[in-house]
């Protein structure tokens, strides 16, 4: 017999998502210039507010390792959506295997490269100091670089996942207003996901409109294939990460799919056919206007 007093739980993102955290240790290669250099440039420019920074390891093995660390973080953000707290991000449960495989590949790559960096640290530092000197850097000091004993802990990533909390997860008795706060947090997260995915789709659409609005043959009309590829990539991300069941977001995704698949075509067609290009701009502009109205 049906119990009229039974609590019926509504489905939330806590039932379909995880919280993913990527912890990253990354050497900062930015250093503030010495006071003498900064003062000299301030006098030259007549601006006492100028801050001069110099950068280490613009090339070589250390820079390559830093690029991999940055790529890992970029993929982490690409495969997840924002959560209400800084740090964790929402990962749809259906994407867990893909996420885990991707992050483990980056971790293995980094772990493979770090021992050589640590072992050859002093050689790499001296080479970078020499490279900077060749390119005109002044007042170069070994003190700008970390000590070799500290290097091993400056290049790493690790990841973990946890359940998304919901009000029914409390193991002790708490006031109803605490549970209501948790329910509101989930709703805030849903709104954050919606805005994030709309923004992800909007940005490449706006870039495409700006570039394709320039007539073929005019200065600035040339574009790379990535202009079109980024539209599809943003659409794919939105489709994978749409866990909110928000009808406006679903409509925006559907409309972008219609435009990308029905009016964009190949990059070469957009480069060579002015009529096709103008039609694509018209449809993309309408799409951008619709998306902006939802932010």
Q: What is d(CA 60, CA 182) in angstroms, rounded to the nearest whole number?
A: 48
- Please name the helix (run of DSSP H) or strand (run of DSSP E) that holds residue 105, with its range, or none: helix 96-119
What's the average model confidence in pLDDT over 140-145?
90
Q: What is d(CA 235, CA 229) in angstroms, rounded to the nearest whole number?
A: 10
pLDDT for the residue numbered 42: 60
CB 221, CB 215: distance < 8 Å: yes
Round the average pLDDT of the chain to a whole number and report it. Answer: 87
CB 184, CB 158: distance < 8 Å: no
What's the average model confidence in pLDDT over 117-131?
95
- The number of C-alpha atoms within 13 Å of 190 and in the hemisphere containing its C-beta is 19
pLDDT for the residue numbered 2: 33
pLDDT for the residue numbered 85: 76
Q: What is d(CA 30, CA 69) in angstroms, rounded to the nearest whole number?
A: 16
- In terms of DSSP H, where are the helices of 165-273? 176-212, 226-241, 247-259, 267-272
CB 288, CB 202: distance < 8 Å: yes
Residues 266-279: tens digit of each pLDDT: 999 999 999 999 99
Residues 6+ apart with CB under 8 A from 275: none
Residues 195-217: tens digit of each pLDDT: 999 999 999 999 999 999 999 99
Can you read off the two tokens belonging to residue 67? 């690029």
Say if residue 31 is exposed, middle or buried (CB neighbours under 10 Å; 0-12, 13-18, 19+).
Answer: middle
What's the average model confidence in pLDDT over 6-28?
79
Q: At the topology level of CATH, where does 172-292 sit?
A: 1.20.120
Q: Where are the domains of the chain?
A: 13-163, 172-292
Q: Which of 100-104, 108-112, 124-128, 142-146 has the lowest mean pLDDT?
A: 142-146
148 confidence band (pLDDT: 50, 70, 90): confident
pLDDT for the residue numbered 5: 41
pLDDT for the residue numbered 169: 67
pLDDT for the residue numbered 190: 87
The answer on pLDDT for 39 being more than 80 is no
pLDDT for the residue numbered 264: 94
The answer on pLDDT for 46 being more than 70 is no
* In the chain, % of residues over pLDDT 70: 86
The answer on pLDDT for 110 being more than 80 is yes
The answer on pLDDT for 3 being more than 80 is no
The answer on pLDDT for 188 being more than 90 is no
The answer on pLDDT for 105 being more than 60 is yes
The answer on pLDDT for 8 being more than 60 is no
pLDDT for the residue numbered 4: 36
Rg (CA), the chain: 25
Residues 229-249: tens digit of each pLDDT: 999 999 999 999 998 878 889
pLDDT for the residue numbered 7: 41
The answer on pLDDT for 136 being more than 90 is no
The predicted model scores a pTM of: 0.82
Can you read off the two tokens belonging to residue 181? 């706060």
The answer on pLDDT for 79 being more than 50 is yes
C-alpha dist (Å) from residue 229 to 48, 102, 266, 267, 293 = 44, 21, 10, 9, 24
pLDDT for the residue numbered 1: 36
CA torsion angle for 286, 289, 290, 291 (degrees, to 10)? 120
What's the average model confidence in pLDDT over 98-123?
96
């Amino acid at each position: 017999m049906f119990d009229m007093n039974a609590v019926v739980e509504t489905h939330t993102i806590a039932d379909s998502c995880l919280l993913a955290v990527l912890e990253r240790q990354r050497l900062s290669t930015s250093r503030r210039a010495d006071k003498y250099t900064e003062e000299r440039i301030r006098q030259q420019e007549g601006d006492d507010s100028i801050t001069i920074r110099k950068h280490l390891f613009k090339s070589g093995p250390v820079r390559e390792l830093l690029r991999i660390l940055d790529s890992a973080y970029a993929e982490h953000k690409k495969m997840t959506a924002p959560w209400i707290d800084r740090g964790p991000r929402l990962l749809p449960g259906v994407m867990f295997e893909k996420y885990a495989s991707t992050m483990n590949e980056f971790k293995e790559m980094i772990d493979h490269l770090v021992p050589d960096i640590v072992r050859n640290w002093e050689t790499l530092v001296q080479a970078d100091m020499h490279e900077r000197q060749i390119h005109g850097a002044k007042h170069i000091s070994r003190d700008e670089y970390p000590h070799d004993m500290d290097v091993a802990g400056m290049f790493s990533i690790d990841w973990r996942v946890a359940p998304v909390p919901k009000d029914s997860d409390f193991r002790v008795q708490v006031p109803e207003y605490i549970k209501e706060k948790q329910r509101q947090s989930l709703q805030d997260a849903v709104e954050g996901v919606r805005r994030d995915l709309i923004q992800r789709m909007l940005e490449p659409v706006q870039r495409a409109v700006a570039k394709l609005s320039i007539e073929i043959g005019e200065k600035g009309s040339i574009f790379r294939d990535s202009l079109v590829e980024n539209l599809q990539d943003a659409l794919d991300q939105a489709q994978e990460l749409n866990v909110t069941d928000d009808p406006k977001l679903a409509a925006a995704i559907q409309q972008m799919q219609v435009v990308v698949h029905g009016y964009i075509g190949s990059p070469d067609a957009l480069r060579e056919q002015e009529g096709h290009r103008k039609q694509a701009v018209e449809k993309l502009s309408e799409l951008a206007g619709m998306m902006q109205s939802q932010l």
